Structure formats: structure tokens, C-alpha cells
Structure 1
Amino acid sequence: MKALLSIDYTHDFVATDGKLTTGDSGQAIEEALTKVTQSFIDSGDYVVFAIDAHDPMDTYHPENHLFPAHNVIGTSGRDLFGSLSAIYETNKENPQIYWIDKRHYSAFSGTDLDIRLRERGIKELHLTGVCTDICVLHTAVDAYNLGYKLVIYKEAVASFDPMGHKWALKHFKNTLGAEIK
């Protein structure tokens, strides 16, 4: 069995006025990302929206010292971007759709994601979203260490750092044994 992890494709990470935007590169993957997402939903596969949830007043959280405030709990910055938002809204009551708030780069860190995947017998994870070299990368490394097979959609991941994006795609394939589609 397989699942799709849609990582951080939100207003703050993708919109031109987003607080930590990937800008054009993030916007350019919208069609591919939504197509993959809709195909997983149509197939009845498990789809997880793993979305950053930050509190800028949390002085202990290291990201608050590394990046401007982004994906702040209770703000529209956490809303899914573009047509992905409509797909989620149409399907959010589907038991095969799961929204997970994450505090760290990896969707596995401090969440129940691994338990939910194992309960469903899922052994293969397909990853889309932003940022290729940060949240997608850290999620992929944790998934690899937990024994999941990985598939990364190169047309459905993006970063604000072109060199980091390219490096991460190479790392997924050569170090984590991921299939790059």
C-alpha cells in the first residue's frame, strides 16, 4: 500500500506575498502537485497534508531564530495554496485524508504519522511539496530510516534555493534510493 505526503504547500511558502515564499518555483509546480494529489484521492489511497504550525512566541523553537515568522497558527499563511485548497476542501471529510500539524521540518518529528501509516499497512510514500531541500528532505530521511520506500515527484517539489533543490533530488535518488518521477 502507498500514501501521498503533501508537504507545506501553503500561502506562506508559495504565494508571492508569502512570509517565506518559494515564489515562482513553488507556483510552477501547482498543476503537477494537484494532479498527483487528485489521482491519489481518486484511487482511494491515503493522503496526508503535513503542514507547518508555528507559534512565533515560542522562544525555544529553533526555526523562530532561523527564519521570519511563517505558517503561524491561526493565520491565512497556513492555508493551502491555489487549487490544492479546493481539492482539500472538497475532500476533507474523506477518512482517507489526514491533516497533520508539524512543528519541525520532518512530518515524522513529534507526530503520529508513522503510527497512522503502519496501521494502514503503508510501506511506500510518495512526496510532494516545499521546500525540496528542507521539509521534503527531512521527511524523506526520516521515512527512509523508518524503512519506507520513497517516490519523489520532481515536477511537484520546489525550493527557494535552486542549488539546494538540485542537490536534494540527487540525494533522494543516490543516498535514499528513492524513485524520482
Structure 2
Amino acid sequence: MIELQPSTDALIVVDVQNDFLPGGTLAIPEGDQIIPVLNHYIDRFTAEGLPILATRDWHPSHHCSFQSRGGPWPPHCIAETHGAQFPSELCLPSETRIISKATEPEREAYSGFDGTDLDRQLQRLGMKRLFIGGLATDYCVLNTVRDARSCGYQVFLLRDAVRAVNINPGDEQKALDEMQRLETRFITLQDLA
């Protein structure tokens, strides 16, 4: 069992946005199924008074990752649109710190740390352990975990609160294997004391 530590632990919710959910322009299979589970984690962290941070793609309308610009993805999560918003079912408290990424037209950013002040905020809060869930396992979750580990944080992947795109068969498993090699600990809600 894992006991949450009041002075060192933060929850990071990665890119749970309308465009990544069923009906969105870049829907992740079963992406909506993680929302009730994430809400339980959010409740636990809120009850303990622990910080919650939520990353989001916040793209300009002509972002380099879009197929119209030669990128791999359909247009998605364009700043100030419905697709970029967090779904109403995701119960983020009002004090959630929002981290916007991939905001520059010519720069992709899969990681919540890439081009943002996420690390600086976490350091200022004195955080040492990050509990990470969200979308998608094989892209933004993987890259956020990768950067968190390189910044020296201990990382817990919320295994019951992630889903993969799986553009290529096996992408999810490759991502999970890499996270394990990075000494990420996989947990589920049942593991929290």
C-alpha cells in the first residue's frame, strides 16, 4: 500500500480533453473510461490537500503537428475551442494548476514539461513524487513520465487511469515497457492506503 505524503506528492492529469475522447477529432479508444477513475484519484488528493496539475494541448489553429502542415495528426485541441476543453465529467477542483503545452505553431510538445513551467511549479511546491494518469499512454503520458524521471521525480503511473492511441499495434506495450525501464511504479486505486 502507498500512503500519500502531504509535503511531497502531486497528481498530474495529462491531456484529458474533449478532442481525445469519443466523438473528438483525435479520439482515443475508451478514453472516456478513465474519467471516473481519475475522479477518484482527484478526490483522494483533494481530501489530503495535495496539489493537482492538469496538462492540456493548447494548439494554435495552424500547428505543425496537424496533417494540413505535414504533421501526423488531424487538427485537435485548438486553443479556446470546445475540443481543447476538459470534459465536464472530469471533476477538477477550482485550484487545479493548468499547464498549457504545444502553444507555439512550429513546435510540438508531447510532454507536460516541454516548453512549460511545470518543473518550476513542482519544485516551488517541494514535490518529489508524481502520480500521473491521462491520455495517451503511448504519447503524452509516456513523454511526461520520461521527463519527470529525467528531472529526478519518483513516478507512479496510474495504470487504471491511462489509455493508448495504439496507432501501430504494440505501441501501448512499448510505452509501458519503457516506463518500467525508467523505474516508474505502476499502481491502481486499490494500492493507495
Q: TM-score range by the shorter chain?
A: 0.7 to 0.9
Instruction: Pick from 74, 77, 83 the counterpart of residue 80 of structure 2.
Output: 74
After the TM superposition, list the runs of 4 or more consecutive aligned residues in structure 1 that deviate by more than 6 angstroms. none
1:172 shift after superposition: 1.2
Could you tell me which of 165, 168, 191 is aligned with 1:160? 165
Q: What is the distance in 1 between the residues matched to 2:149 and 2:115?
A: 17
The equivalent of 1:176 in structure 2 is: 182
Q: Residues 49-100 of structure 1: CA distance to partner in whole angstroms, max 9, x if unpaired?
A: 1000111324xx3x1211011000110001212521xx22xx21x3xx2011
Give the drift of 1:40. 1.1
Percent of matched pairs sharing the same residue? 30
Q: Deviations over 1:4-33 (max 9, x none)?
A: 11001111001x21010113x212222212
Task: Normalising by structure 1, report the TM-score.
Answer: 0.88
For residues 1-181 of structure 1, what are the structure 2 equivalents within 5 Å? 1-14=8-21, 16-23=22-29, 25-58=30-63, 61=64, 63-64=65-66, 65-84=71-90, 87-88=91-92, 91-92=93-94, 94=95, 97-103=96-102, 104-161=109-166, 163-173=170-180, 175-181=181-187
CA contact (8 A) 2:138 2:165 kept: no
Structure (1 or 2) with the greater helix fraction: 1
- Note the residue ranges of structure 1 that are not aligned, 5 or more in a row: none
Structure 1 Cα separation of the partners of residues 62 and 160 of structure 2: 35
For the residue of structure 2 that corresponds to 1:180, the secondary structure is strand
Partner amino acid, structure 2, of 1:100 = I
**Aligned-residue CA RMSD (Å):** 1.3
Q: Deviations over 1:106-153 (max 9, x none)?
A: 000110110110011101111010000100001111111110100001
SS of the aligned residue for 1:117 comes to: helix
